[in-house]
Structure 1
Amino acid sequence: MANILVVEDESIVGLDIKSRLQRLGHQVPDVVASGEQAIIQAEALLPELILMDIMLQGEMNGLEAADIIRERLDIPVIFLTAYSDESTLERAKEAGPYGYVLKPFKDRELYTTIELGLVKHQNERRLRQAHDQLETRIQERTAELARVNEELRREIEERKRAAEEKDRLAEQLRQSQKMEALGRLAAGVAHDFNNMLTIINGYSELVLACMGEEDSLYADVKAVKEAGERATVLTGQLLAFGRRQLLDSQVLDLNREVTKTLQMFQRLIGEDIELRADLQSSEPYVETDPGQFDQVLVNLVINARDSMSRGGRIDIETADVEFAAADIRSRVDIGPGSYVRLRVRDTGCGMNEDILSRVFEPFFTTKSKDKGTGLGLSVVYGIVEQSGGHIEVTSEADVGTTVEIFLPRAEGRPEKLMPMPEQTAVGSLKESILLVEDEDVVRELANRILCDCGYRVLEARKGEEALMLAELHDGPIHLLLTDVVMPEMSGRQLAENLIPLRPDMKILYMSGYTDDTILRYGIQAGDVDFLQKPFAPKALVTKVRQVLNQKRRRLQ
């Protein structure tokens, strides 16, 4: 049975309805006479059903009270009315009642209307619950579909990014392999020129030393010598690009290296270009060749200057950078660790993608013939790579170019360099040199230079000849000057065979080959006395004197 609130403006009628409901088995917690009281008691008692007269005491009729109760409490209302006219019933329908009982009414009629109202309300509640459950399930399914769609979208994007990253890394690898092949070719060409340039530069210098400036051929020979020197610079650049130079690596303070060149750079770039330096690295220590690093700075600044025909700005910056494993996935030739970053940025004309993809190629240039050989960035690339670093170039046409160089941070600190004592190039008749060189013209040139300086020279074309000369020579041999790469017996093997015979003999190696090549012949250029071809006569005699004056190293 139900708990029913009765709302009736006539108290006698209200008590009668209460009595009849109780006889039918229902409970009646209260009988009220106004719409306002009906709302208050409905909120307080929460009955299962309300029997409400349409005409009530107070300012609110039953229709208005029913609207409020339905909105607030969802309690079914059955109207009681003595009026059966059409207008009254139409007004009652607007309130959404669960039934009507016309006064006077019989108990059976009241009972049936109440039961139908309760069943209707219960069915509506169940329908709403089912609707809510269905709505919830639809929302859950929609959310699940949205989640799956989002996961699918992310997976598609990740696969797309992975494919793009794979293509980018493949392109980087292809570019790296191309640069490696070009480097090998460039270094091979440079080596072939080294011996020839030794002859050209050496003999032209010897000839000039025997001529006066008034001589009719003096200018011609000088032009040959100057051309040879330019060619020597060119081969050095080719070797730098190929990462096959012999580097004299030292720990440098990058901030100091930049600072000491700023004044020179300002003169170099002109007054219409602003030069800024922002040196933020707190530990700017890197290990590289000081001379080669200066060339890196000069080449980058010159390139930046040449891109700004109408003036602009060049920024040189240093900073500390830490690369974790996740940071280097997009880079194929750099490992995790601590780096010092050098950034040179300009506001010049910039480059498009096609030009940007070729900036490191030797002899590729967009400048006019009189403004460069196309080796500037190639040299920078080679020096940076050989120093264990990494270089990146970004550019946008009409915006500018940024070059970033990452060099591994060195553990040590720069050493204070002591000035080298000047070496006299003149030899003594008592000093003998065993000269071993398989290239006849180079050997003859070196022999002449050394003899002119007062040394006694024993010549040999290959290792076996040198061993025989050393065994037959009665006097001391103060120095072995030998090429590294020779047929049958290398310079290193020759030295190993001679040291037991001449334990006090000092050794000076020379070669036109590069660091990676002579390493295969047991020579580490930084650990031995070494002279790189092509060499000038003065460089040869200075190096010979230096080795003779120092203490003999153990077997090099």
Structure 2
Amino acid sequence: MHRILIVEDENIVGLDIQKRLRRMGYEALEVLSTGQQAVEYVEREQPDLILMDIQIQGDIDGIETTRRIRERFDVPIVYLTAFSDETTLQRAKATEAFAYVLKPFKDRELYSSIEFALYRHQTGVELQKHHDELETRVEERTAELARVNEELKHEMKERQLAVEGRALLEEQLRQSQKMEALGQLAGGVAHDFNNMLTIITGYSELVINRMSDKDPIVSDMLAIKEAGDRAATLTSQLLTFGRRQALQYSTIDLNGTVESARDMLQRMIGEDIHFEIDLQPGPHYIKTDPGQLDQVLVNLVVNARDAMPRGGRLRIETAAIALDQPLTNRFLKLEPGEYIRLRVTDSGSGITDKVLNRIFEPFYTTKDKGKGTGLGLSMAYSLVEQSGGQIDVASRPDEGTRFDLYLPITNARPEEKLSETSPAPGPRSENGNEIILLVEDEDVVRDLARRVLSDYGYDVLEARQGEEALALSELHAGPIHLLLTDLVMPKMSGPELAQNLQALRPDMPVLYMSGYNDEKVLRYGMQEQQIHFLQKPFTPNALIAKIRQVINLR
């Protein structure tokens, strides 16, 4: 049963309405005469509907009372009025009343207005409920959609990173395979060249040593020898790139290497380039070939200088880098560990992306003809990798270039070594009389070495390969003071031959010679041993000096 409040200032009319409502089956509540009473009653009793006369006693009329009630309570209100002027209706309309009943009214009119108001209110309540439920569901679905969308974006990002990572790995693999193939080609060519250059420079020096300084042919022979020396430098760089150069590893302080080269580098770059060196306090020890590292530093500085013909800024710096996770990019694939980074930065013309793709290839250069061999950066690339590190480059046209050399830090400390240099002997200086077993599979190289050794007083037992050398050793009853052997030979390598001979002659020293350090030799771990080595091409003076040094160390 619906509870209905009556607000009517004429008491007789109010009681009449109360009776009518009860006959209609409603619970008729009190009859109130003022708006203030109505507001207080609604707050206390919460009726289901209010019949509100527009003209009532007190400070506020029925319209204002309705406005105040509707602001605070969700109660449907039906106006009762004897006035129907436009102004009153507009004021009443603004309060959103549910129905209007004009006095005098019949029961049917009152009943239909009440039922319409109750139905409209109930419908509104249900609509609001459905709206709230729908809004809640929309919010939930929106939140779920946002969550799924975030997961999708995260998955897409992961897939993108995976694709980019795979592309980077593929690019690194292609680059590595390309550099490996070029290195094998370059190393093989350089090895053959070194044997020929040994003949050119060796016989040139033999002829020069037998001629007087006034002989006009001496200058011609010196020119031949100088050309051979320049070619030997190129093949040495090729061997480094091909990883077939026998590197002379030692532990050095990188800061000390850079600092000792400061004055030389300053003279090389000239006065129009601002040159600065910033070394992180060390020392920072690395294991590499000091001579090759010096050459790499020179190559990088010369390239930077050539990129700044009108002057600029050149900076060399070192910094210790500790990686707790891999560092990869276009050129790098560094494993976690401790490294020292040697950075060379210039403000020059920069390098295009197209050139960067080929920057470490041998013989690739953008310099004018005659101003570069294209081997400097390829040599740097190989030296750093053979030293356990990697090299990175970043550049943009007109914005300069930055080279980063990452070299692993070693716990070892530099060892004081006996000097391995001795004055190059001239003809007949400090002749020897020892017996030397010479083993070389290249006939022309063996003939040259035998001739030089014989000229300096040594007795020579010569063999083309290992088995022949073993047979000579068995037939020779006396001592053999030195084994001079090529590293890489058919059937039996130099180290294998030395091992067999030293089992019978443990006091016999060994001097190896080669145009490169083959992978087969690397498997013997020779670069980790204290061995005596002579790099081809060599001159007669260098050969004699090295032999004398090794024999004297016994």
Give the TM interval when normalised to the shorter protein: 0.7 to 0.9
What SS does the aligned partner of 1:369 have?
coil
In 2 relative to 1, CA 17–370 (structure 1 residues): closer, same or farther, beyond 3 Å? same
Q: Report the more deviating stretch, 247-256 or 368-377.
A: 247-256
**1:499 and 2:498 correspond:** no
Which residue in 2 is equivalent to 1:119?
119
8 Å CA contact 1:169, 1:331 repeated in 2: no
In 2 relative to 1, CA 352–458 (structure 1 residues): closer, same or farther, beyond 3 Å? same
Amino acid aligned to 1:466 = A
Q: Deviations over 1:174-208 (max 9, x none)?
A: 12111110000000000001111112112222222
Cα distance in structure 2, aligned partners of 1:276 and 1:455: 53
> RMSD between aligned alpha carbons?
3.2
Q: Deviations over 1:39-78 (max 9, x none)?
A: 5665566544333332345664433443454344433222
In 2 relative to 1, CA 474–70 (structure 1 residues): closer, same or farther, beyond 3 Å? same
Cα distance in structure 2, aligned partners of 1:188 and 1:418: 32
Which residue in 2 is equivalent to 1:415?
414
8 Å CA contact 2:341, 2:405 repeated in 1: yes
8 Å CA contact 1:478, 1:505 repeated in 2: yes
8 Å CA contact 1:351, 1:401 repeated in 2: yes
In 2 relative to 1, CA 245–489 (structure 1 residues): closer, same or farther, beyond 3 Å? closer
Which residue in 1 is equivalent to 2:302?
302
What SS does the aligned partner of 2:370 have?
helix
**1:373 and 2:376 correspond:** no
Report how far residue 230 of structure 1 moved. 0.6
Which residue in 1 is equivalent to 2:541?
538
Q: 5 Å matches for 1:51-450? A: 51-57=51-57, 60-85=60-85, 87-104=87-104, 110=110, 112-280=112-280, 284-325=284-325, 327-328=327-328, 333-412=333-412, 414-418=413-417, 420=419, 423=422, 430-450=433-453
Report how far residue 258 of structure 1 moved. 2.4
Which residue in 2 is equivalent to 1:462?
465
What SS does the aligned partner of 1:499 have?
helix
Q: Report the more deviating stretch, 118-127 or 75-84.
A: 75-84
In 2 relative to 1, CA 545–7 (structure 1 residues): closer, same or farther, beyond 3 Å? farther
Q: Report the more deviating stretch, 204-213 or 391-400.
A: 204-213
Residues matched between the structures, number: 548
What SS does the aligned partner of 2:261 have?
helix
Gaps of 5+ in 1: 552-556
What SS does the aligned partner of 1:370 have?
coil
Amino acid aligned to 1:381 = Y
What SS does the aligned partner of 1:315 have?
strand
Cα distance in structure 2, aligned partners of 1:207 and 1:452: 13
In 2 relative to 1, CA 56–411 (structure 1 residues): closer, same or farther, beyond 3 Å? farther
Cα distance in structure 1, aligned partners of 2:366 and 2:331: 27
Amino acid aligned to 2:335 = G
Identical aligned residues as a percent: 57
8 Å CA contact 1:191, 1:514 repeated in 2: no
Report how far residue 225 of structure 1 moved. 0.9
Cα distance in structure 2, aligned partners of 1:282 and 1:66: 88
Which residue in 2 is equivalent to 1:33?
34
Report how far residue 221 of structure 1 moved. 0.8
**1:451 and 2:454 correspond:** yes
What SS does the aligned partner of 1:393 have?
strand
Amino acid aligned to 2:515 = G
8 Å CA contact 1:15, 1:31 repeated in 2: no
Cα distance in structure 1, aligned partners of 2:84 and 2:350: 92
Q: Report the more deviating stretch, 146-155 or 343-352.
A: 146-155
Report how far residue 133 of structure 1 moved. 2.0
Cα distance in structure 1, aligned partners of 2:33 and 2:253: 97
Cα distance in structure 2, aligned partners of 1:421 and 1:190: 25
Q: Deviations over 1:388-413 (max 9, x none)?
A: 2122222211112122222222233x
Among candidates 512, 515, 518, match of residue 512 of structure 1: 515
Report how far residue 233 of structure 1 moved. 0.5
8 Å CA contact 2:33, 2:56 repeated in 1: no
Cα distance in structure 2, aligned partners of 1:77 and 1:89: 14
Amino acid aligned to 2:526 = Q
Amino acid aligned to 2:224 = V
Cα distance in structure 2, aligned partners of 1:347 and 1:69: 80
8 Å CA contact 1:515, 1:525 repeated in 2: no
Q: Report the more deviating stretch, 225-234 or 148-157.
A: 148-157
Which residue in 2 is equivalent to 1:554?
none
In 2 relative to 1, CA 315–93 (structure 1 residues): closer, same or farther, beyond 3 Å? same
Amino acid aligned to 1:347 = S
Which residue in 1 is equivalent to 2:483?
480
Report how far residue 487 of structure 1 moved. 3.3
In 2 relative to 1, CA 22–408 (structure 1 residues): closer, same or farther, beyond 3 Å? farther
In 2 relative to 1, CA 500–124 (structure 1 residues): closer, same or farther, beyond 3 Å? closer
8 Å CA contact 1:287, 1:410 repeated in 2: yes
Cα distance in structure 1, aligned partners of 2:376 and 2:331: 23
Cα distance in structure 2, aligned partners of 1:43 and 1:318: 82
Amino acid aligned to 1:276 = E
In 2 relative to 1, CA 30–384 (structure 1 residues): closer, same or farther, beyond 3 Å? farther
8 Å CA contact 1:273, 1:314 repeated in 2: yes
Amino acid aligned to 2:228 = G
Cα distance in structure 2, aligned partners of 1:58 and 1:477: 138
Q: Deviations over 1:492-534 (max 9, x none)?
A: 33323323443322222222232424335x4614413222211
Report how far residue 374 of structure 1 moved. 0.9
Cα distance in structure 2, aligned partners of 1:267 and 1:228: 27
In 2 relative to 1, CA 261–86 (structure 1 residues): closer, same or farther, beyond 3 Å? same
Q: Deviations over 1:348-384 (max 9, x none)?
A: 1112221111111111111012321111111111111
In 2 relative to 1, CA 249–421 (structure 1 residues): closer, same or farther, beyond 3 Å? closer
8 Å CA contact 1:363, 1:375 repeated in 2: yes
In 2 relative to 1, CA 255–430 (structure 1 residues): closer, same or farther, beyond 3 Å? closer
Q: Report the more deviating stretch, 403-412 or 216-225.
A: 403-412
What SS does the aligned partner of 1:214 have?
coil
8 Å CA contact 1:328, 1:336 repeated in 2: no
Cα distance in structure 2, aligned partners of 1:398 and 1:49: 84
Cα distance in structure 2, aligned partners of 1:284 and 1:10: 106
Report how far residue 5 of structure 1 moved. 5.2
8 Å CA contact 2:436, 2:483 repeated in 1: yes
Amino acid aligned to 1:486 = M
8 Å CA contact 2:172, 2:330 repeated in 1: no
Q: Report the more deviating stretch, 386-395 or 67-76.
A: 67-76
Q: Report the more deviating stretch, 79-88 or 43-52.
A: 43-52
TM-score by length of 1: 0.87
8 Å CA contact 1:434, 1:466 repeated in 2: yes
**1:524 and 2:508 correspond:** no
Q: Deviations over 1:209-259 (max 9, x none)?
A: 233433211111111111111111000110111122212222333233223
What SS does the aligned partner of 1:363 have?
coil
